[in-house]
Copies of this chain bind each other. A is one copy, B any other.
Amino acid sequence: MKRHLFTPGPTPVPPQVLAALAEPIVHHRSPDYRPIFRNCLDRLTAVFRTAREPLMFTASGTGAMESAVANIARPGDRVVVVSAGNFGQRWVQIAQAFECDVDVIDYEWGEMPAAEDLAARLRELGGAKAVLVTHSETSTGVVADVRALAAAAAEAGAFSVVDAISSLGAVPLETDEWGIDVVVAGSQKALMTPPGLAFAATSHATDGGRARGYYFDWARNRKAQEKLDAAFTPAVSLVVALDVALGLLLEDGLEAAFDRHVRLGRACREGAKAMGLELFSPDDDSSAVVTAVKMPDGVEAGEVVLSLRDRFGITLAGGQGPIKGKIVRIGHIGWFDVFDIATALAGLELALSEAGAEIERGVAVSRALETYEHTAV
């Protein structure tokens, strides 16, 4: 059966990138590799919109998240986490594992964090070392205003640390211009590469701490990377693939990618609404990464996900945590066009109809296509 991957990560990888993965292995200290690595780092620097080369790790995105806490915070340091979903909770768990004094601004899943809340909490607490926030909360589809959150952190003298794992390359993120201290990301979302590489853009101000741990020690990794080397054998195949993927992304330009994601989000929302479904993720252009759709009464999301997969080869994600069973999530991150949205909606329509849900038939796909076509960003 033909497969359609619409999960919010890992995401589909273009065939050119898959082909690069199959290239013969090169040694990471050889001239067969170094120019590719150089190129890749330059392209990453452009994608992060920063002047300072981001660090690359062989790890999941969580590894880069850990690196931020391990390099910035000492035991007992006050750290504020802005959490409104599963990945906010991951920040909490990491900061706790590193024995920080963790204060959580805990929103309901699906709520949009407010910079005023953060500013107030930071004033109240005093002395926070860092603020850990999630840009795109993949579990809910909410994209937070990290520019405002970072400004609130800076105002209070705290480092701002942004998990941009599912947002980088999909929605605007200006590391330097917005004054964000640390941005972490991964290869497997809008960067259109398989999972296995993680990145951390770090400001000079965050350097000089003594890392806890070894593998994610920024100083050790930067020292090697400055010599176009890696502290530890890198996942060379993934780096070669990432270089191709970033080339595709930058050839069209980041702005084109941002525009496309906004319009894909619009198309997905309008299509879902035309079917008669309610949205869980916000019904506005901030919601450009993942569209979360509530299931009609009496329909269990997990069964819809199963039926889509088994009957039509379509993989969507269900809900996590408190919204498990209640929503399905359509990721439109990276290598997506409007016909993927059409496929996701058409599949969802079929599955819901078979599940006996009372939905409007025959309108979602055309509404999505029209919305994509006839709205400018």
Contact = CB atoms under 8 A, between A and B. Distances in A.
Interface of A: 3, 5, 7, 9-13, 18-19, 21-28, 30-32, 58-63, 66, 70, 93-94, 97-98, 186, 188, 194-196, 211-217, 231-238, 309, 315, 317
A236 B58 contact: no
B25 A215 contact: no
B59 A215 contact: yes
A212 B69 CA distance: 12
Contact of A213 (B3, B66, B231): B66
B98 A233 contact: no
11 contacts: A3-B32, A7-B27, A9-B233, A11-B25, A21-B21, A21-B237, A30-B309, A70-B213, A93-B214, A188-B233, A196-B238
A72 B98 CA distance: 16
A235 B26 CA distance: 19
B97 A217 contact: yes
Contacts of A22: 18-19, 21-22
Chain A interface mostly helix, strand, loop or mixed?
A: loop
Nearest to A23: B18
A112 B135 CA distance: 52
A188 B196 CA distance: 14
B60 A232 contact: yes
B196 A237 contact: yes
A196 B238 CA distance: 8
Nearest to A210: B97
Per assembly, the copies of the chain total 2
A11 to B, nearest CB: 7
A165 to B, nearest CB: 9
A12 B27 contact: no
Given A10-B28, A235-B196, A214 B60 contact: no
Nearest to A217: B97
A213 B211 CA distance: 11
Most buried by B among A61, A62, A66, A194: A194
Given A5-B26, A25-B12, A66 B215 contact: yes
A350 B204 CA distance: 49
Given A196-B235, A196-B237, 4 more contacts: A30-B315, A59-B215, A66-B213, A194-B237
Contacts of A309: 30-31
Contacts of A94: 214
Closest 7 CB pairs of A and B: A196-B235, A60-B232, A22-B22, A97-B214, A194-B237, A21-B21, A62-B232
Nearest to A69: B214
